[in-house]
Structure 1
Amino acid sequence: MRDVRRANRASLLTDLFHGGRQSRQQLGDTTALSQASVSNLVGEMIEEGLVEEAGLVGSDGGRPRALLRVAPGYGYVVGADVGESRVAVELYDLAMSRLGAAGYRLADPSDHESVTQLLIRGLADVTTQADISRDEVLGFGVGVVGVVDREGLVHSQTTGWEAVPLGDVLGAATGLPVFVENGAKTVGQAEMWFGAGRGARHAVIVLIGRGVGAAVVRDGRGHRGPDSGAAEWGHTTLVYEGLPCRCGARGCLEAYIGSDAVSVRLAEATGSEPDPRLLARTLVGEVSGPAAVVVTETVGYLGAGIADLVNLFSPERIVLSGPIGAALGERFLPEIRAAAAGHALRHPFSTTRIDVCQLGPDAVAMGAATLPIARLLADGGMAVTDPHTVVSRAAHRRQISRVRG
């Protein structure tokens, strides 16, 4: 019975979070629960502060019905982006309004201990900005470069991390539930929930910056293999024995479309000073001469990489994200589509749409903040305090406050 109650609460809470304000009757229709069950469970969640009434809607000849929503202030979530040159930390309420943000330069991305300290500092900074206590934070999501295995260990050849237990260390230091995931996957979840992937059941969200990754969504769920699944799309081979890649292999897709690699080719072609930001600067202005040749080649390589995704997964939608993915998509989307069409099988390509991200070029931290929300929704706002007792998260927090008080 506890499992049934949890599942029914999860269904209602998920529908409210993703569907927006709804009446009790609408929730009964969309979740297929009886009106009695909806009323009882909604009443519980209102008492806990998890759900609140937010306006009225007219009915056919009867009294106006109250609209419900997930209460934005029930709790807060923190998301972080651990990149190769910086760490960004952001705090959100349950309406995904950003209430605090902090960013720090990263001197040595291989020093995971300093990264952990920056994350702890970021948590303190954003909670201070928002004037909330750490007890009000429901969880801390972190998007990282590299593979996150099923034990939560981070492996990243490009940053020199080998089996780093980031989640365990950060959880012990903060006392919070910590969720660690590949950064491309956190962007993918954000775009699927709030952005260009919304409404699709089968999609691939690609993240292109210094590194190149992808999040594959099948039947509405993120695909996950034994480790991070298709997130290492950038290290699939595009050219046999081709250009050297940062991972140590040759011919990887990242060596042809990653910003560092393309910037090197741009510098050689134009006689410019080598600068990792050269590609980003080039895409802002007019692209002509030798630079146009390099950019055209890059668009072609990107199209070929997208064609591989089309042939492998037959997605409804492919979303270009990340600072370089968004910039290339905004400037050259028709050319990218044409290049992909030239390398993909005709039928799966005919059913695939290629779009540009809607949440901005850097949504890793926002996506990471959705990880604790996903757990909250799946649990129906309930927490397990021992194998035999199930209580609401609100009641659990009240218990903790009494113990501390």
Structure 2
Amino acid sequence: MEVRRTTVRDMRRSNRSVILTSIYREGPLSRQELTVRTSLSAASVSNLVAELIAEGVVEEAGSVESEGGRPRVLLRVAPTFRYVVGAEVGETRVRVELFDLAMNVLARADHPTSAPTPAEVVKHVLEGLSSVITASGVQPQQVLGLGVAVAGVVEDNAVVDAQTLGWEAVPLAEMLAEGTDIPVHVDNGANMLGQAEMYFGAGRGATDAVVALVGSGVGSALVAGGSSYRGTRSSAGEWGHMTIVYGGRQCRCGALGCLEAYVGAEGVLDRYREAGGLVEGDEETAFVALLSSTSEPAATIIADTIGYLAAGFANLVNLVNPERIVLGGWAGLALGEKHLDELRAEVGKHALRRPYAQVSIVLCELGRDAVALGAATLPVVRLLRDGGALPNRR
């Protein structure tokens, strides 16, 4: 077996990556703070920061008073060094957003859809990409990359199996790359919600967490020891397809009794309809109306949904012992904004006492559109990993 030797260039790129990642994830930071956080020498930090500033990747962002000395200059990743695009492929829409590196939204495009085929998704994403670039005034060569979040198992950041959509081994990244020279990255939607919340939202500071996405379907992102846990082939986190009722309702995946069949918006509305409730309008409108209804069938369905979701959370508490569970997704937020206290209390009835006492259950802080934001971090992560080096383009 050939052993690859680490070169000086490799070490320099690695050290640049450490510094850049620290500034991006924890900044603004001073050179002194970087020295402490990275364990690099003050001279190395100074030299590498000077390189990054000269290249335009990093910029000075004010100063803070120091104890008994000159003010310390703060550093941040330059927001306009490059731009990134994130796309959320949902079951009712494809949303594409363009961000600067401070993750400010500069342009947005939405395409309504229903059970989209791979070809339809590619068409909508590429149209959205063109639209947000034009609307923002950003030049295509200034875009670092396009991150795409989809419902389903994503292997090798490229190939999608989405059982509920009927997709099998779809080479989505390759299909998208045929229509643009901007680098394309693809990942699971729940993982991207998790990445966004862990970077910028309710997950910050936690090292062991679960970020739960509840929308039409249900998924989760697992974080262990500060790193995303993906499993053998990247399908870890398919929490929506754990069996919650043996021999229960049929899930969209074809199995019986999945959690998704009871707490996903589609399943909740199906149960409400079967109980005699009136379901009108699109899925989101009908779900919000259900939560606002004072009818007896609505009250029963809501209480049952809280119970099923609590049981699912309790299983996570007992199985992975997270310090934090973050509830997100449009349906999860709608439910949690009205019933979070009840949900917490119900989790306590099902979970083991000690791990339940160690977990906090909170709502996402980035809102219902955080999936596209998370997708946009994919090219940012590549930039950080490569120490600020720009990707090759076709």
Please, what TM-score do these two structures have when normalized by structure 2?
0.94
Q: Which moved more, 1:57-66 or 1:322-331?
A: 57-66
> SS in structure 2 opposite 1:73?
coil
Q: Which residue of 1 aligns with 2:20?
A: 13
Q: Give the Cα–Cα distance (whole angstroms) in 2 for the partners of residues 220 and 59 of structure 1.
A: 30
DSSP-derived class of the 1:267 partner: helix
Deviation at 1:107, TM superposition (A): 4.5
Question: Structure 1: which 5+ residue stretches go unaligned?
Answer: 383-392
Check the 8 A contact 2:277/2:298 in 1, yes or no: no
1:310-369 Cα deviation digits (max 9, x unpaired): 111100000110011111111111211122112212221111111111111231101100
Q: Can you list the C-alpha shifts for 1:168-216, whole angstroms capped at 9, x where unaligned?
A: 2212321122111110000000011111111000000000010000000
Per-residue deviation at 1:288?
4.3
1:201-350 map, 5 Å: 201-273=207-279, 276-277=283-284, 278-283=286-291, 285-350=292-357
User: What's the counterpart of residue 142 of structure 1?
Assistant: 148
Contact 1:264 1:274 in 2 (8 A): no
- Of 126, 129, 132 in structure 1, the residue corresponding to residue 138 of structure 2 is 132
In terms of mean alpha carbon deviation, does 292-301 or 99-108 score higher? 99-108
Corresponding residue for residue 387 of structure 1: none
Structure 1 residue corresponding to 2:120, chosen from 114, 123, 141: 114
Question: Do the aligned partners of residues 116 and 296 (structure 1) sit closer, same or farther apart at CA in structure 2, a change above 3 Å counting?
Answer: same
Structure 1 contact 182–231 (Cα < 8 Å) conserved: no
CA contact (8 A) 2:324 2:361 kept: yes
- Residue 370 of structure 2 corresponds to 363
Q: What does the per-residue CA deviation read over 1:238-285, in whole Å, with 9 as the maximum and x for residues that have no partner?
A: 1111011111111111111111111122223344146534222222x2
Whole-angstrom CA distance in 2 between matches of 1:61 and 1:274: 67
The answer (yes or no) to whether the contact 2:157–2:186 under 8 Å persists in 1 is no
Shift of 1:227: 2.8
Partner of 1:379: 386
Which residue identity does 1:19 align to in structure 2? E
Amino acid at match of 1:48: E
1:267–1:274 Cα contact (<8 Å) kept: no
Deviation at 1:301, TM superposition (A): 0.3
Q: What CA distance in whole angstroms lies between the structure 2 residues aligned with 1:62 and 1:331?
A: 51
Query: Residue by residue, what CA displacement relative to the aligned partner does 1:13-71 show, whole Å, maximum 9, x if unpaired?
Result: 11111112222122112211111101110111111100111222233444333221110
In 1, the alpha carbon distance for the partners of 2:361 and 2:148 equals: 27
Instruction: Tell me if 1:24 matches 2:21.
Output: no
The separation in 1 between residues aligned to 2:279 and 2:265, in whole angstroms, is 15
Cα 1:12–1:288, aligned 2, differ >3 Å: closer, same or farther?
Answer: same
Q: Distance in 1 between matches of 2:279 and 2:213?
A: 26
For residues 65-124 of structure 1, the C-alpha deviation after alignment (integer angstroms, 9 at most, x for no partner) is: 322111001101100000112100001111111111100012441x21121011111111
Distance 1:157 1:311 in 2: 28
Q: What is the alpha-carbon distance in structure 1 between the residues aligned to residue 307 and residue 272 of structure 2?
A: 15
**Does residue 198 in structure 1 map to residue 238 in structure 2?**
no
Q: Which SS does the other structure have where 1:74 is aligned?
A: coil
- Check if 1:66 corresponds to 2:73: yes
2:157 touches 2:185 (CA, 8 Å); kept in 1?
no
Measured in 2, the distance between the counterparts of 1:164 and 1:298 equals 33
Distance 1:348 1:59, change over 3 A: closer
Between 173-182 and 296-305, the greater mean CA deviation after superposition: 173-182
SS of 2:246's partner is coil
Which runs of at least 4 in structure 1 moved beyond 6 Å after TM superposition?
Answer: none
Equivalent residue for 1:99, pick from 103, 106, 116: 106
My pick for the range that moved more, 325-334 or 250-259, is: 325-334
Secondary structure at the residue paired with 1:173? coil
> 1:238, 1:191 → 2: CA distance?
26
Give, as a single letter, the amino acid of the residue that structure 2 aligns with 1:299.
I
Q: 1:80 aligns with which of 69, 77, 87?
A: 87
In structure 1, give the amino acid aligned to 2:371. Answer: V
- CA distance in structure 2 between the aligned counterparts of 1:272 and 1:296, rounded to whole angstroms: 17
Length, aligned pairs only? 385
The aligned amino acid for 1:177 is P
Larger deviation: 204-213 or 268-277? 268-277
Distance 1:271 1:25 in 2: 62
1:153 to 159, 163, 166: 159
Report the more deviating stretch, 271-280 or 252-261: 271-280
CA distance in 2, matches of 1:365, 1:333: 25
Aligned partners of 2:210 and 2:201: how far apart in 1?
A: 13
- Is the Cα contact below 8 Å between 2:262 and 2:308 reproduced in 1? yes
Rounded Cα–Cα distance in structure 2 between residues aligned with 1:271 and 1:192: 38
Q: 1:232 Cα shift?
A: 1.4
